Amino acid sequence: MTERPISDRLCEEIQSEFPDFAVRPKAGDALSRAIDGALRVVTLGAQDRYLTEYFTVLGATLYTPPGWDSMGDRERAVLLRHERVHLRQRRRLGRLGMAAVYLIPFLPLGLAYGRARLEWEAYEETLRATAELLGPGAARDPALRERIVGRFLGPDYGWMWPFRRQVERWFDAALGRIEAEGTAGRAEDLPKCRR
């Protein structure tokens, strides 16, 4: 008997917590195309990979780029755990509250503290899931650190928090908390997302 993929089990778990949760491709989605166009305009073309590389939760739907179907099971589970944090934030803040915190405080570009706070919470779960599912070495990988830090500093999220040292301190502290919890290497019994 073959064990079901972790990402399938995690997806079912998310669907039990959020019954309206769905996974849909960005390709062909009018709203995703509109967001892509707006991001290209406001970032002067610097964020040009929204449709092809970025996973996005809008409402209770996870919109996926073409790479979703070719991702490994554990990598997909790491991503789902990050996105589940955003679903829980939306439940906690409400739809309008989430949009306001994500898009406004303080500036939509360059100093978006609200967005940074939401993403710090989600990326800490990315680190925790990485340590648990891919191993502690994967969570400590300098390439992962630079990729996550770069997301805060660069056009990916509209230069949301451009203070490298502060973002690096956050990363190091988050990784320290995770390692202190002793969760690294203990894969959660987690869940094929329906499309």
- pLDDT value for 153: 95
Note if the pTM is more than 0.85.
yes
- For residue 11, give the nearest of 61, 48, 70, 66 by alpha carbon: 61
The whole-number average pLDDT for the span 122-133 is 98
- pLDDT value for 188: 47
- pLDDT value for 42: 87
Domain coordinates in residue numbering, the chain: 6-181
- Encode pLDDT of 143-195 as tens digits: 999 999 999 999 999 899 999 999 999 999 999 999 999 854 444 444 456 55
Quote the tokens at residue 171.
């990363």
- For residue 133, give the nearest of 62, 174, 64, 188 by alpha carbon: 188
- pLDDT value for 191: 44
DSSP string, 3-72: PPPHHHHHHHHHHHHSTT-EEEESTT-HHHHHHHHHHHHHTTTS---HHHH--EEETTEEEE-GGGGGS-
- Encode pLDDT of 54-112 as tens digits: 999 999 999 999 999 999 999 999 999 999 999 999 999 999 999 899 888 667 778 89
- pLDDT value for 105: 66
Quote the tokens at residue 8.
């399938």
